[in-house]
Structure 1
Amino acid sequence: MLKMMTFFQGLPGQQSVPGTLNFSGSPQKLPSISESESEASMSEASSEDLVPPPEAVVAPDQEQQEAAKKKKPTVLSNMFSIFTKGKKKRGQPSLVEPPLVPESKPGLDGPIPTVEELKAALEQGRLEAARPLLMLEQELAAAAAGGASEEELVRRQSKVEALYVLLRDQVLGVLRRPLEAAPERLRQALAVVAEQEREDRQAVAAAATAEAPGAAALAATRPRRWLQLWRSVVAEVAAERLDTRPAAGAEGRSEAESIFQHLGCTVKEDLEAVVERLKPLFPAEFGVVATYAESYHQHFAAHLASMAQFELCERDTYLLLLWVQNLYPNDILNSPKLAEELQDVSLGSLLPPKQIRLLEATFLSSEAANVKELMARALEMESQHWAQDVAPLRLDGHCHSELAIDIIQIVSQGQAKAENITPDLGTQMKQVLLVELSALLRSYQRAFDEFLERGKQLRNYRANIIANINNCLSFRTSMEQKWQILQDPRSYLLDPLSELKVHGFDALLQNLFVDLKPLFKRFTQTRWAAPEETLEEIIGTVEGRLPEFSELHDCFREELLEAVHLHLVKEYIIRLSKRRLVLKTAEQQQQLARHILANASVIQDFCTKNGSTATWLNPALPTLAEIIRLQDPSAIKIEVATYATWYPDFSKGHLNAILAIKGNLTNSEVKSIRNILDINTGAQQPSRSLFSLIKVG
Structure 2
Amino acid sequence: MLKMMTFFQGLPGQQTVPGVPDLPTSSQKLPPASEVESEASMSEASSEDLVPPQEAKGAPHRDEEEATKKKKKKRPKGLANVFSVFTKGRKKKGQPSSAQPEGQPESQPEPSGPLPTAEELKADLERGRLEAARPLLVLERELQAAAAAGGESAEELVRRQSKVEALYALLRHQVLGLLLRPLDVAPERLRQALAVLTEQEREDRRAAAAAGGSGALVAARPRRWLQLWRRGVEEAAEERLGRRPAAGAEGLSEAERTFLHMGRTMKEDLEAVVERLKPLFPAELDVVAAYAESYHRHFAAQLAAMAQFELCERDTYMLLVWVQNLYPNDIINSPKLAGELQRLRLGSLLPPRQIRLLEATFLSNEMTSVKELMARALELECQRWARDVAPQRLDSHCHSELAIDIIQIVSQGQAKAESITLDLGTQIKQMLLLELATFLRSYQRAFDEFLERGKQLRNYRANVIANINNCLSFRTAMQQKWQTQDLPGHLLGPLSELKSHGFDTLLQSLFGDLKPLFKRFTQTRWAAPAQTLEEIISTVGERLPEFSELHDCFREELMEVVHLHLVKEYIVRLSKRSLVLKSAEQQQQLAGHILANAELIQRFCTQNGSPATWLHHALPKLAEIIRLQDPSAIKIEVATYATWYPDFSKGHLSAILAIKGNLSSSEVKSIRSILDVSTGTHEPFKSLFSLIKVG
TM-score, scaled relative to structure 2: 0.90
State the match for 1:50 in structure 2: none
For 1:82 and 1:511, locate their aligned partners in 2 and report how far apart those are by CA, in whole Å. 109
For 1:3 and 1:407, locate their aligned partners in 2 and report how far apart those are by CA, in whole Å. 20
State the match for 1:29 in structure 2: 37
Q: What are the within-5 Å matches in structure 2 for residues 49-448 of structure 1?
A: 57-59=53-55, 61=57, 67=63, 70=66, 72=68, 78=78, 81=81, 83-84=83-84, 110-148=113-151, 149-207=153-211, 212=212, 214-448=213-447
What secondary structure, in the 3-state scheme, does the structure 2 residue paired with 1:343 have? helix
Letter in 2 for 1:177: R
Per-residue deviation, 1:219: 1.9
Letter in 2 for 1:635: A
Moved more, 219-228 or 409-418: 219-228
Q: Is the 8 A contact 1:39 1:79 kept in 2?
A: no
Letter in 1 for 2:46: E
State the match for 1:51 in structure 2: none
Letter in 2 for 1:553: H
For 1:394 and 1:41, locate their aligned partners in 2 and report how far apart those are by CA, in whole Å. 90
Give deviations 1:565-599, integer Å, cap 9, x for gaps: 11011001101111111111111111111111111
Distance 1:5 1:696, change over 3 A: closer
For 2:573 and 2:56, locate their aligned partners in 1 and report how far apart those are by CA, in whole Å. 108
Letter in 2 for 1:456: K
State the match for 1:607 in structure 2: 605
Per-residue deviation, 1:139: 1.1
Distance 1:651 1:86, change over 3 A: closer
For 1:595 and 1:20, locate their aligned partners in 2 and report how far apart those are by CA, in whole Å. 96
Distance 1:33 1:69, change over 3 A: closer
Query: For structure 1, which runs of at least 5 residues remain unmatched after alignment?
Result: 10-15, 46-54, 89-98
Q: Is the 8 A contact 1:585 1:663 kept in 2?
A: yes
Letter in 1 for 2:493: D
Per-residue deviation, 1:3: 11
Give deviations 1:512-570, integer Å, cap 9, x for gaps: 00000011111111111111111100000000000000000001111000100110110
State the match for 1:536 in structure 2: 534
Q: Is the 8 A contact 2:204 2:224 kept in 1?
A: yes
State the match for 1:96 in structure 2: none
For 2:590 and 2:690, locate their aligned partners in 1 and report how far apart those are by CA, in whole Å. 24
Q: Does 1:39 align with 2:46?
A: yes
Give deviations 1:92-127, integer Å, cap 9, x for gaps: xxxxxxx99879x9x976222111111111111111
Letter in 1 for 2:672: R
Q: Is the 8 A contact 1:593 1:625 kept in 2?
A: yes
Per-residue deviation, 1:31: 2.3
Alignment RMSD (CA, Å):
2.8
Distance 1:624 1:87, change over 3 A: same
What secondary structure, in the 3-state scheme, does the structure 2 residue paired with 1:634 have? helix
For 2:142 and 2:365, locate their aligned partners in 1 and report how far apart those are by CA, in whole Å. 72
Q: Does 1:20 align with 2:48?
A: no
What secondary structure, in the 3-state scheme, does the structure 2 residue paired with 1:421 have? coil
For 2:412 and 2:18, locate their aligned partners in 1 and report how far apart those are by CA, in whole Å. 15
Q: Is the 8 A contact 1:391 1:460 kept in 2?
A: yes
Letter in 2 for 1:642: T
Higher relative contact order (CA 8 A, sep 6+): 2
Query: In the comparison of the two structures, how many residue pairs are matched?
Result: 658
For 1:18 and 1:283, locate their aligned partners in 2 and report how far apart those are by CA, in whole Å. 22
State the match for 2:663 in structure 1: 665
Moved more, 597-606 or 112-121: 112-121
Query: For structure 2, which runs of at least 5 residues remain unmatched after alignment?
Result: 1-16, 89-98
Moved more, 548-557 or 632-641: 632-641
For 2:304 and 2:427, locate their aligned partners in 1 and report how far apart those are by CA, in whole Å. 25
Distance 1:530 1:194, change over 3 A: same
Moved more, 626-635 or 513-522: 626-635
Q: Does 1:6 align with 2:14?
A: no
For 2:214 and 2:363, locate their aligned partners in 1 and report how far apart those are by CA, in whole Å. 67
For 1:72 and 1:640, locate their aligned partners in 2 and report how far apart those are by CA, in whole Å. 119
Q: Is the 8 A contact 1:582 1:662 kept in 2?
A: yes
Q: Is the 8 A contact 1:41 1:82 kept in 2?
A: yes
Q: Is the 8 A contact 1:648 1:685 kept in 2?
A: no
Q: Does 1:561 align with 2:569?
A: no
For 1:57 and 1:390, locate their aligned partners in 2 and report how far apart those are by CA, in whole Å. 85
Letter in 1 for 2:83: F
TM-score, scaled relative to structure 1: 0.89
Per-residue deviation, 1:58: 3.1
What secondary structure, in the 3-state scheme, does the structure 2 residue paired with 1:361 have? helix
Per-residue deviation, 1:327: 0.7
State the match for 2:10 in structure 1: none
State the match for 2:7 in structure 1: none
Per-residue deviation, 1:683: 3.9
Give deviations 1:605-659, integer Å, cap 9, x for gaps: 1111111101111111111111111111111111111111111111111111111
For 2:583 and 2:280, locate their aligned partners in 1 and report how far apart those are by CA, in whole Å. 114
What secondary structure, in the 3-state scheme, does the structure 2 residue paired with 1:399 have? strand
For 1:640 and 1:60, locate their aligned partners in 2 and report how far apart those are by CA, in whole Å. 114
For 2:86 and 2:227, locate their aligned partners in 1 and report how far apart those are by CA, in whole Å. 37
Q: What are the within-5 Å matches in structure 2 for residues 510-589 of structure 1?
A: 510-589=508-587
Distance 1:570 1:558, change over 3 A: same
For 1:611 and 1:78, locate their aligned partners in 2 and report how far apart those are by CA, in whole Å. 105
For 2:173 and 2:58, locate their aligned partners in 1 and report how far apart those are by CA, in whole Å. 15
What secondary structure, in the 3-state scheme, does the structure 2 residue paired with 1:394 have? strand
Per-residue deviation, 1:18: 10
State the match for 1:52 in structure 2: none
What secondary structure, in the 3-state scheme, does the structure 1 residue paired with 2:21 have? helix
Q: Is the 8 A contact 2:568 2:692 kept in 1?
A: yes
Q: Is the 8 A contact 2:595 2:620 kept in 1?
A: yes
Distance 1:633 1:71, change over 3 A: farther
Distance 1:376 1:395, change over 3 A: same
Letter in 2 for 1:135: V
For 1:244 and 1:145, locate their aligned partners in 2 and report how far apart those are by CA, in whole Å. 52
State the match for 2:11 in structure 1: none
